Amino acid sequence: MLKFYYGLGTCSLASHIALEDAGLDYTAERLDLKGNQQNSPDYLAINPKGRVPALVTDRGILTETPAILAFIAQIAPQADLAPLNDPFAFAEVQAFNSYVCSSMHVAHAHRMRGRRWATEESSLEDMRRKVPENVRAGFDLVENKLLRGPWVMGETYTICDPYLFTVADWAKGDSVDIADFPKVAEHHRRIQERAPVQKMLALYKA
């Protein structure tokens, strides 16, 4: 059985939604991030990065959201969460999720995790000031270039959609109003109505 480690307010929400979408049999354990459980010896033995999510499988442990999302889609092909039979289209899914991971998530992280990149308070404050601008730039690209239809890839829901939903859910805290991005806002509204998302939102906001 799969075991999923997650934390409130984190990108683990995207993979958690996908596990529900896929109908997979799994257990989940919430880490107390405020209590620094992610850096406890027990968890570091699971994920030496000290971050969530982590997915324990019968072949080993996976970390990083794009990798976990792709794995879920591949082990549950019946859920049709990615175009698995089309290498180019699957690579496009991977490209979108990689952009969210490497750019949009990092822009968001500069607001509260600046000490990963700098130590001077003036540098940290400068990073925080840039967060709204950088986050808006990411949503502007998604709005005008990357979001193809009702779902990220067009007419079919994929593993890209819970990931975009997750970062859009952070926007308000980053002083960005997703109402300024009508396609993204409509996507957020539509996905929020889905039963697996409702289930996870209740869990993550408990």
Q: The domain spanning residue 20 has which CATH number?
A: 3.40.30.10
Q: Are residue 149 and residue 194 in the same domain, yes or no?
A: yes
Q: Are residue 70 and residue 95 in the same domain, yes or no?
A: no
The structural domain count of the chain equals 2
Helix (H, G, I), strand (E, B) or coil at 28: strand
Q: Which of 46, 79, 112 is the last residue of a domain?
A: 79
CA distance 63 to 178: 28
Q: Which of 24, 50, 79 is the last residue of a domain?
A: 79
Q: Which of 39, 60, 79 is the last residue of a domain?
A: 79
Residue 29's domain spans which residues? 2-79
> Tell me: the pLDDT tens digits for 21-77?
999 999 999 999 999 999 999 999 999 999 999 999 999 999 999 999 999 999 999
CA distance 93 to 87: 10
> Tell me: the pLDDT tens digits for 107-150?
999 999 999 999 999 999 999 999 999 999 999 999 999 999 99
CATH code at position 175 = 1.20.1050.10
Assigned domain for 63 exists: yes
Q: Are residue 25 and residue 96 in the same domain, yes or no?
A: no
Q: Crossing angle for the helix pair 65-75 and 160-169, nearest 10 degrees?
A: 140
What would the two tokens of residue 192 be? 């929020």
CA distance 21 to 18: 5
The three-point CA angle 129-160-29 to 5° equals 85
Closest-CA residue to 143 (of 180, 92, 172): 180
